[in-house]
Structure 1
Amino acid sequence: MWRGGPPERIAAWGMIAASVLTIFAADPDGYVQVEYAVLAIDVALLALLVALAIVADRRWTLWAAGFHLVGVLTPIAFMLSPTAIRFAYAWMQGFWAYPTLTALLAGTIAYRRRVKRGTAGRSWRPFSRRSARTRPAVPPAG
């Protein structure tokens, strides 16, 4: 969180907030049924990661959003098949956090390497032709 650029910091704070909120929203009995409060938190984090993937000049954001999307789809699959094994649902629900965090870690490492080389470039994508012309052309960041 302290070593990344603005997109990495925003994602890290979003993931921390989602983790803390999930602790309070989760049912202590766990995985008996779909937990809609946890699903809402996951959807909010997905919205943040998708927004970062759209506006940040980073490749890792797309990977993180994709991994988290699979995690969000897990309870939806459980809704469609409530007879599924609770262990499989619990395992799949938590599993996708690790690839999402790994994408953030890889993006932070890539950013630090670019800073060290002096080629960090911009953090955000230009959204107009004018802003694209006024900034130097930098290849998309990690």
Structure 2
Amino acid sequence: MSPIYAVSLILLIVSAAVALWRGGPWERTTAAVLVLTWIGTALAPFDPARPPWVAIALDGATLLLLLYLALYSKRRWTVWATAFQFLLMANHLAFVRFHELEQWAYVTAYYVWGDAVLLCLIAGALWRPRRAASAVD
């Protein structure tokens, strides 16, 4: 297991735990989707010579969810998470277009943008006012 994978996995576990502990419905839904996306990406075969279509599809679906949340949830963290997820998708599309990109750069950028999404989720769950925790928004 590479160090960047291990750090990202720990960050995923922490973000899911914080979302369950402190977050509202939007944070919990996002955490569940991110965990399912991670599992689906981990189970899908990865061929360095070809684009990872399963990961691209899952990350695209995650982008659509985050875009929906950014438009309708009235939470600031969702705007940032959507922006970072968009950059993650741009990373995928750059690799689809230019196969000669080095795997190290592609995978590193993938984890950097993914970690930024997870950090947005943590920030959103932690800085959520307690009075709003009981209200559904």
| Match of residue 54, structure 1, among 71, 90, 97 | 71
In the aligned structure 1, how far is the partner of 2:135 from the partner of 2:45? 38
Which consecutive unaligned segments of at least 5 residues does structure 1 have?
125-142
Q: Percent identity?
A: 29
Which consecutive unaligned segments of at least 5 residues does structure 2 have?
1-18
| Per-residue CA distance 1:35-62 (angstroms, 9 max, x = gap) | 1111001101111111111111200001
Which structure would you say has the larger RCO, counting Cα contacts within 8 Å and 6 or more residues apart?
Answer: 2
1:83 has 2:108 as partner: no
The one-letter code of the counterpart of 1:34 is: P
In the aligned structure 2, how far is the partner of 1:48 from the partner of 1:92? 21
What is the deviation of 1:119? Answer: 5.5
1:11 has 2:30 as partner: yes
1:35 has 2:55 as partner: no
> In the alignment, is the contact (CA less than 8 A) between 2:34 and 2:62 conserved in 1?
yes
The total of aligned residue pairs comes to 118
> In the alignment, is the contact (CA less than 8 A) between 1:57 and 1:122 conserved in 2?
no
| Per-residue CA distance 1:71-128 (angstroms, 9 max, x = gap) | 01112111222111121111112221111000000000111xx10xx3658553xxxx
| Match of residue 69, structure 1, among 79, 86, 111 | 86
What is the deviation of 1:31? Answer: 3.0
The one-letter code of the counterpart of 2:58 is: I
> In the alignment, is the contact (CA less than 8 A) between 2:23 and 2:133 conserved in 1?
no
Per residue, is there more helix in 1 or in 2? 2
TM-score by length of 2: 0.79
1:92 has 2:109 as partner: yes
